[in-house]
Amino acid sequence: MKVLAADGISPKGIELLQQEFEVVVKNKLPAEELLEIIPEFDALIVRSASKVTAEVIERATKLKIIGRAGVGVDNIDIPAATKRGIIVINSPGGNTIAATEHTMAMMLSMARNIPIANETVQRGEWNRKQYVGVELRGKTLGVVGFGRIGSGVAKRAQAFDMNVIAYDPYINEARAKSMGVRVCTLDEVVRESDFITVHMPLTPETRGMIGMEEMKKMKKGVRLVNCARGGIINEADLAEAVKQGLVAGAAIDVFTQEPLPAGHPLVGVKGIFLTPHLGASTVEAQIGVSMDVAKGIRAALHGEPVATAVNMAPVSPQVMQVIEPYLTLAERLGCTVCSLAAGPIQTVEVTYNGEITDVSTSLITTAVLKGMLNPVLEEAVNYVNAPGLAKERGITVSEVKSRNAVSYANLISVKITTADGKQVSVEGTLFGREGRIVEINGFRVDVDPHARILICPHINRPGIIGKVGSILGDAGINISAMQVGKTDIEGTNIMVLTIDNDIKADTLAKVKEVDGIFDAKLVNFYAL
């Protein structure tokens, strides 16, 4: 597989990927060249410079994952990627400290006029009285966006004896209060703050959320900081507000267009300090984000889920540690019910029993759908597009959780109903970290679902198992394991054979013709 690394990714992440994949490094990649070469690649890593548009995604016929070495993903067309089943990941924590510290540096530099003071001293001037600053102590800092970076800034601002208030539509109010931060409306932050720093993603809702209307409400002497995404603060309005004295100053690291074009409204305005998108530009951050994304790409190209995918339900590292061993088992349970189904599937019910009910199981349910759809669809099915593909096909999916006592500490049950009303069910659990199928349509078994299995319900009488074994042996098919499952229905058993070779249609037909065999279904886990 081939990986394209654009925009100056740290060598540490490149080296990790080169251990398993062919990696092509293209720094400062023009948009035209990206369009031309993208069909060759299975994975793409970018920072903020490259724009991964719908057109790029349409041409990326082999692409499985896009990695953003950083937090913001507004340079990637996520809906287009999701529609194509392409995973989009970022590094939400890799540059947190760097961006947090840069915000504090910008705030302090602006408060004490450090950039302009340095510039004039370098020219031989000595203007002490002209560059009198303000202290942070006792001032109110309004934090707009209280995620990792926003809360990190709040913590450091409190060390400067600042009073911190915060606005975030999804704020964890209890966490904010535990940090000594007062939760406010955006209007309250705008009216009460001496300093305002924004740490929101750029979305249609946040674009221009602080403009002239908001600036007219602000306190005299207010200062603004934006180290998040360009466009959250309206740039033209900010320039005009500083010129009019509505805003005392601003420190801006991110812009709607980068590099800044000639004649940009913020350039040359006294009191506005600019840096060229340096928020994540530390040695440590560049290594951190490149390693995070490289690990995510490696996992995705191996068909494993990625906790930092932004176009699927987020999974915390703690929850991922619990559910990860179940994902492969869940895929195989889905593959098994699909292979046993006699018609189109209408409903899927996934039931969780035991301790696993304490965590979010949505990704495990997605793994069931992935395993169920992969063998029957021409397009690749993954953790991003599996729920959408199931919905498109009219399949109703439900989860049930129960703490009822069962024979195992944890049990996953998958039951499907086909269009003609027939039901198929399988159950599985973990022995250690190894998955086992422990029940098929009510028959108790203990099957290692790692390769191919042949499932044959049959009458419980002598000679049937031997006849099936002979048919497979004559066809050159090796049986590596065998299970006979029992049920409460007297006289009926199920035979589950783990086999090392594929079975041709004529051989499968011979097995079905054996007197006493009700059916024979091959489940091929290599199809996943």
Q: Which residue among the candidates 68, 84, 102, 229 is catalytic per the annotation?
A: 229
Helix (H) or strand (E) segment spanning residue 186? helix 186-192
Give residue 313's pLDDT: 64
pLDDT band at 353 (very low <50, low <70, confident <90, very high): very high
Average predicted confidence (pLDDT) for the chain:
90
Q: Which residue among the candidates 102, 199, 223, 277 is catalytic per the annotation?
A: 277
Residue 237 has pLDDT above 90, yes or no: yes
Give residue 527's pLDDT: 65
> What SS3 class is residue 65?
strand
Give residue 383's pLDDT: 79
Mark 293-306 as b/e (b = at least 16 C-beta within 10 Å): bbbbbbbbbebebb
- Domains of the chain (ranges; CATH) run 2-93+284-301 (3.40.50.720), 96-274 (3.40.50.720), 312-437 (3.30.1330.90), 442-528 (3.30.70.260)
The CA distances from residue 230 to 80, 110, 196, 391, 527, in Å, are 22, 18, 15, 36, 45
Residue 387 has pLDDT above 90, yes or no: no
Give residue 51's pLDDT: 92
216-220, 297-301, 340-344, 463-467: which range is least confident on average? Answer: 340-344
Kindly state the tokens that stand for 124: 């031989």
- Distance in angstroms (rounded) separating the CA atoms of residues 329 and 206: 41
Q: Is there a contact between 198 and 167 (Cβ–Cβ < 8 Å)?
A: no
Kindly state the tokens that stand for 504: 């041709």
At CB < 8 A and 24+ separation, what contacts does 240-248 make? 240/212, 240/265, 241/212, 241/215, 241/216, 242/269, 242/270, 242/271, 242/272, 243/269, 246/215, 246/216, 246/218, 247/215, 247/218, 247/222, 247/223, 247/271, 248/220, 248/221, 248/222, 248/223
pLDDT band at 404 (very low <50, low <70, confident <90, very high): confident
Give residue 408's pLDDT: 86
Q: Which residue among the candidates 258, 355, 434, 513 is catalytic per the annotation?
A: 258
> What SS3 class is residue 354?
strand
Cis amide prior to 259 (ω within 30 degrees):
yes
Residue 526 has pLDDT above 70, yes or no: yes
Write the CB contacts of 69 (distance below 8 Å, at least 6 apart in sequence).
7, 9, 10, 13, 45, 46, 47, 91, 94, 286, 289, 290, 292, 293
pLDDT band at 419 (very low <50, low <70, confident <90, very high): confident
Selected residue with higher pLDDT from 404 and 102: 102
Q: 482-503: per-residue pLDDT in tens?
A: 988 876 666 788 999 999 888 8
Give residue 489's pLDDT: 63
pLDDT band at 62 (very low <50, low <70, confident <90, very high): very high
Query: DSSP letters along 47-64, please?
Result: -SSS-B-HHHHHH-TT--
Q: Calculate what percentage of the chain has a pLDDT beyond 90.
A: 64
Q: 359-375: per-residue pLDDT in tens?
A: 889 989 999 999 998 87
User: Is 439 among the catalytic positions?
Assistant: no
- Distance in angstroms (rounded) separating the CA atoms of residues 443 and 484: 9
Residue 118 has pLDDT above 90, yes or no: yes
Among 200-214, 238-252, 404-418, 486-500, name the most confident range: 238-252
Sign of torsion over alpha carbons 51, 57, 61, 63? positive
Helix (H) or strand (E) segment spanning residue 154? helix 148-159
Residues 388-416: what's their mean pLDDT? 86
pLDDT band at 347 (very low <50, low <70, confident <90, very high): very high
Strand partners, 252: 226, 274
Q: 168-204: per-residue pLDDT in tens?
A: 876 777 888 999 999 999 999 999 999 999 998 887 7
20-29, 72-81, 183-192, 255-264: which range is least confident on average? Answer: 72-81
User: Is 102 among the catalytic positions?
Assistant: no
User: Is 436 among the catalytic positions?
Assistant: no
Residues 40-51: what's their mean pLDDT? 92
pLDDT band at 425 (very low <50, low <70, confident <90, very high): very high
